[in-house]
Amino acid sequence: MRVAIIGGGPGGLYAAALLKRLDPAREITVFERNAPDDTFGFGVVLSDETLGGIEHADPVVHEAMQREFVRWDDIDIVHRGTRHTSGGHGFAALGRRRLLEILHERCRSLGVELRFRTRAPDTAALTGAYDLVVAADGVHSTTREAYAHAFGPHVTGHRCRYIWLAADFPFDAFRFEIAETEHGVMQLHGYPYAADASTVIVEMREEVWRSAGFAEMDEQESVERCAKIFADALGGRPLKSNKSAWTTFRTVVNEHWSHGNLVLLGDAAHTAHFSIGSGTKLAVEDALALAACLEERPTLPEALAAYESERKPVVASTQRAARASLEWFENLGLYLDQPPRQFAFNLLTRSRRVTHGNLRLRDARFTEAVEREFGCPPGTPPMFTPFRLRGLTLRNRVVVSPMDMYSAVDGVPGDFHLVHLGARALGGAGLVMTEMVCVSPEGRITPGCAGLWTAGQAEAWRRITGFVHRQAPGTAIGVQLGHSGRKGSTKLMWEGMDEPLPEGNWPLVAASPLPYRPDSQVPRQLSRSQLTDIREQFAAAAVRAARAGFDLLELHCAHGYLLSGFLSPLTNRRTDAYGGSLDRRLRYPLEVFDAVRAVWPQERPMTVRISATDWAEGGTTDEEAVAIARAFAAHGADAVDVSTGQVVAGERPEFGRSYQTPFADRIRHEVDVPVIAVGAISSWDDVNSLILAGRADLCALARPHLYDPHWTLHAAAEQGYAGEAAVWPAPYRAGSRRPQTGRTDGPKPRLSLGS
């Protein structure tokens, strides 16, 4: 096999060494346009996991790297003159130039041909002359762009400028330092990579960078200015550059990683923000996987398909974490007024990969200090601290999220609802929410939806709230009121979600006459008199909800249902007073909110659920989501339940663990209103992390409560908590400890005496 590698960075060189080591008969040529000692950046950070892979694949390279590594455990966060240190993190770094020298030496010893100061020939010529061509030519890959039709690249720019510098001394920890200047907030990321050197990255929002005058400075002026701004962190020492230039980070994603005998590797295939130190790590792991797949698969097409299949999910997960970290730093200004330790905890958990639980394992003293500052009593996890909304005190921060059950008859909740909601109330959550309860027969999603348009329905709900209050004292129960709008008259979810009923349809109404799907019924645009009628239906349902004994009421203005349909520019095309600008699109949902708040008991809280993004071009923007939340808060909303999407059928959500929580986080800090976070929050560790970091006040979970009605009580048991915020019902107390299982952890029986 003849192999050409375009790009002599760590990923390309390591791939060359591995491929040659595994099969010395391979002819491998690396084309690198720069000189051998040219490099950009300074230090490289690698994880223990990646180092383990390197050790297994090529002990010679691993041993050479081991001799060069600088290792440290601490992270320092310096903000407003206060430094907080968290230990137990475990980093290893070395100079990028030294890493390249090690890889050059290894490639030469194996017989790889290294062509420096040589631009790679035309890719079409390479693919014809070589059996395999590996494009490891970086974030600005000309190979990727030349074959964009095949790879399908998506490149996203971001809001911050950064510059890669170095200092001639070693930091004693990974250091984050925040500088609040007259131009705005700036941050320093620094870490040691040699006994006498550290990498220093200075980063700030584009508008701050321009205001500070960096756009007009040359390289040396920028370096000197950065050293002056962060003089305390540097001890007054200078910074140095290496062809350093201000740039913006670009996230690269490719739909496909190979085309014929051409394959992408490293930054050419994907990028992940430097704040989680993953660029070189991912490239090296790519090289390992590519080499392994070429060994394991009988043909090149199978090997390249296996490589992509193996690496894509890993990279996607890393990119989600990197995106969360990147956006945290972009929005750093939101968190500046947090208490110092909470700010540090927030920074450490920004990517959602470091959580409350593993931070406790790494540094229990630091985490306990954050908990004390937050107000956690000794031995109380953050999720089991109380929270007050108006006249209602929730005993913990867990909410059973509204989940449509489609099991009512003529809108009347029956035994199923009693058992479903009752079981989850007995399961320990602070607040249990009903499904969306419809305000009229025409406002149902399906024939199985529950309602509150009759006194009989209210009595059926009273039976359920009475059970919760008697049998699960301390658990609150809330009702979510809504109207389906254009998403109504459909089959039960398990018969065909969002599919129109084959018969027995009822007419639909909406902000504008736009069907949800091409095969959906076209709704009628609501007239002024119909708007009044529906507003009164909401108010009447709220009166019935109060009489039924609900502790909290939530107005459903999300997920493309009627009120949500007014808020989104994708679904509201009206030209009257209820359409057009955001203020006009808000007008009707606020009228309904005001009507409900006027009849809902003043001591009982009222929340509103919104879709903070439509996950579709031209939909609700981040800024509009903040404005929507601010408007509802100004009208008396006690909290905003921040969800996303389900507004248009063509949405493209960015799914992932806790993927909706950044929207709640932003609203909480910009609007200063309590928020309920939702969206793939799957573990009690996630809940503790979000609450303690100050990104949410309450966390709503749906599917985990379907899997385990006693999710909250089990979370308490698993954390060794037995306080008032998670009380087991008397008949269930015997089950408050995990049942014993067969022993699997040894000691093993002695089967021989040995020699």
**pLDDT value at residue 513:** 97
- Tens digit of each residue's pLDDT (9 = 90 or more) over 625-673: 999 999 999 999 999 999 999 999 999 988 888 889 999 999 999 998 9
Any bridge partners for residue 490, and if so which? 500
Given this model, what pLDDT does residue 657 score?
Answer: 82
Position 380 pLDDT exceeds 90: yes
**Rounded to whole angstroms, how far apart are CA atoms 399 and 475?**
10
* Residue % of the chain over a pLDDT of 90: 87
User: Residue 751 pLDDT more than 60?
Assistant: no
Token couple for 73: 């455990």
Instruction: Report d(CA 689, CA 107) in Å as an integer.
Output: 45
Q: Which residues contact 406 (CB under 8 A, 6 or more apart)?
A: 445, 446, 448, 449, 492, 493, 494
pLDDT at 745: 64
- Give me the count of residues in the chain: 755
In this prediction, residue 752 has a pLDDT band, given cuts at 50, 70 and 90, of: low
Structure tokens at 329: 């730093």
What pLDDT score does 210 carry? 98
Report the distance separating Cα 728 and Cα 712, nearest Å: 10
Residues 6 or more apart whose Cβ sits within 8 Å of residue 396: 383, 384, 385, 386, 387, 428, 429, 430, 712, 725, 726
Which two three-digit tokens encode residue 465?
């709230």
| Confidence at 749, pLDDT banded by 50, 70, 90 | low
269 vs 257: CA distance, rounded Å: 6
8 Å CB contact between 653 and 614: no
H or E element: which one contains 123?
helix 123-129
Task: Using pLDDT thresholds of 50, 70 and 90, give the confidence band for residue 736.
Answer: confident
- C-alpha dihedral over 533, 535, 538, 544, to 10 degrees? -70
Q: Above 70 in pLDDT, residue 372?
A: yes
Predicted confidence at residue 753, as pLDDT, reads 56
pLDDT at 755: 45
Residue 682 in this model has a pLDDT that exceeds 90: no
Q: Which residue has the tokens 């808060």?
A: 633
Q: Write out pLDDT tens, residues 26-43.
A: 999 999 999 888 776 688
Give the per-residue pLDDT at 36.
86
First-to-last C-alpha distance (Å) of the chain: 49
Q: What is the reported pLDDT for 743?
A: 61
Q: Is residue 521 classed as helix, strand or coil in its secondary structure?
A: coil
Q: Provide CB contacts within 8 A for 69, sequence distance 6+.
A: 92, 93, 94
Q: Give residue-wise pLDDT tens across range 400-455.
A: 999 999 999 999 999 999 999 999 999 999 999 999 999 999 999 999 999 999 99
The one catalytic residue in 191, 335, 406, 561 is: 561
519 against 736, higher pLDDT:
519
Answer yes or no: are the C-beta atoms of 573 and 495 closer than 8 Å. no
Pairing of strands 153-167, 197-205: antiparallel
Residue for token pair 């040359």: 218
- 158-213 tens-digit pLDDT: 999 999 999 999 999 999 999 999 999 999 999 999 999 999 999 999 999 999 99
Please give the sequence-ordered ranges of beta strands (E in DSSP) within 170-288, or none if there are none: 174-181, 184-194, 197-205, 247-254, 258-259, 262-264
Q: Are 574 and 495 in contact (CB under 8 A)?
A: no
Distance CA 261, CA 269 (A): 15
Give which of 218, 173, 213, 207 is closest to 192, Cα–Cα.
173
Tens-digit pLDDT profile for residues 608-629: 999 999 999 999 999 999 999 9
Over residues 683-714, the pLDDT tens digits come to: 999 999 999 999 999 999 999 999 999 999 99
Q: pLDDT per residue over 267-315, tens digit each?
A: 999 999 999 877 888 999 999 999 999 999 999 999 999 999 999 999 9
Q: Is the pLDDT of residue 750 over 60?
A: no
Mean pLDDT, range 518-525, rounded to an integer: 94
Q: For 104-152, how does the pLDDT look when each residue is reduced to its tens digit (9 = 90+)? A: 999 999 999 999 999 999 999 999 999 999 999 999 999 999 999 999 9
Residue with tokens 């193996």: 310
pLDDT the model gives residue 748: 63
**Model pLDDT, residue 48:** 75
Which residues neighbour 520 within 8 Å (Cβ) at sequence distance 6 or greater? 486, 487, 490, 498, 500
Q: Mind listing the pLDDT tens digit for each residue in 207-234?
A: 999 999 999 999 999 999 999 999 999 9
Is residue 754's pLDDT more than 60? no
707 is a catalytic site residue: no
610 with 629: CB under 8 angstroms? yes
The rounded mean pLDDT for the chain is: 94
